[in-house]
Structure 1
Amino acid sequence: MELKVYGIKNCNTMKKTFDFLEKEGVVYEFTDYKKKAPDAGLMVKFASKVGFEKLINKKGMTYRQLTGEEKSQLEIEDSALALLSKKSSMIKRPIVQFPDGEIVLGFDPEAIKEKMDSIKK
């Protein structure tokens, strides 16, 4: 089973995710938002799984530096996904995508392991 992992390589949460997956012996393909920004289609797919609001990392520096106008764009799905594609540092990470298309948002070892186990069955 090969997973797809999306995020930013130098993020501490991503490092925890990589360590966890490697410890579990999981093969994964990593997409670094800093090298390849997510396109609108991918953002729509993620939003359809968890809702666009959950994709927004409101704890990070990128969010805190947004203007009031940009923050208001985050209230409407189309403009929120466009802004997230443009400012990918604001996407909650990691996003772990399984072969069946389901995702786990954020570093949640139990949820990742549970989903891996259910796919193996």
Structure 2
Amino acid sequence: MNIQIIGTKKCNDTKKAERFFKERGIKFHFKDLTEKGLTKGELDNIIRKISLDDLLDKEGKQYKKRNLEYMVYDIEEELLNDPLLLKTPIVRNGNDVTLGYQPDIWKKWISE
């Protein structure tokens, strides 16, 4: 397994995802979106499984702060330029990707 958790240290669901894998002794790589955003290649791999519209956190502080609900914009470009607009956590295991806290899916990954 090659687990990557993408999120922020302040996000409760990201913390729960980290705890899920730690409790099971599974190593993971954590990518903090406050320090570094996604590359175009990473985003392309994620949107093969999850739509751009689902990745955009329309309930988040950053979305409201930037008043994006009143603007026309390219979602992909905004997510690449401002990673705090992403819903978190994004958990990757090879080609598999989940969005949010998804312990049932992660348990399936472990048992495979």
Please, what TM-score do these two structures have when normalized by structure 1?
0.82
Shift of 1:94: 0.8
The alpha carbon displacement at 1:6 in A equals 0.8
The residue number in structure 2 matching 1:32 is 32
Q: Which runs of 5+ in 1 are unaligned?
A: 74-78
- Residues in 1 aligned to 2:109 and 2:98: alpha-carbon distance in whole angstroms: 9
Given that 2:4 and 2:28 are in contact with CA atoms closer than 8 Å, whether structure 1 keeps it comes out as yes
- Runs of 4 or more, structure 1, over 6 Å off, are none
Residue by residue, what CA displacement relative to the aligned partner does 1:69-94 show, whole Å, maximum 9, x if unpaired? 2xx21xxxxx2111012221111111
| Shift, 1:103, TM fit | 0.6
Which residue of structure 1 lines up, in the alignment, with residue 83 of structure 2?
A: 88
Q: Give 1:103-118 correspondences, 5 Å limit.
A: 103-118=97-112
Name whichever structure is richer in helix by fraction.
1
Q: Count matched residues.
A: 110
Task: Find the aligned partners of 2:96 and 2:15 in 1 and give their Cα distance.
Answer: 22
TM-score, normalised to structure 2's length? 0.88
Instruction: Give the percent of matched residue pairs that are identical in Structure 1 and Structure 2.
Output: 25
Classify the secondary structure of the residue corresponding to 2:59.
Answer: coil
Unaligned runs of 5+ in 2: none
Q: Does 1:18 align with 2:13?
A: no
Check conservation: 1:56, 1:84, Cα contact below 8 A: yes
1:32 deviation in Å?
0.8
Q: Per the alignment, in what secondary structure is the counterpart of residue 29 of structure 1?
A: strand
Matched, 1:5 2:2: no
Pair 1:59 & 2:59 matched:
yes
Bigger relative contact order, structure 1 or 2, given CA contacts below 8 A and separation 6+? 2
Read off the aligned partner of 1:23 and give its amino acid letter: E
The 2-side partners of 1:110 and 1:33 are apart by 25
CA deviations 1:83-109 (Å, max 9, x no partner) are: 01222111111111113x111111111
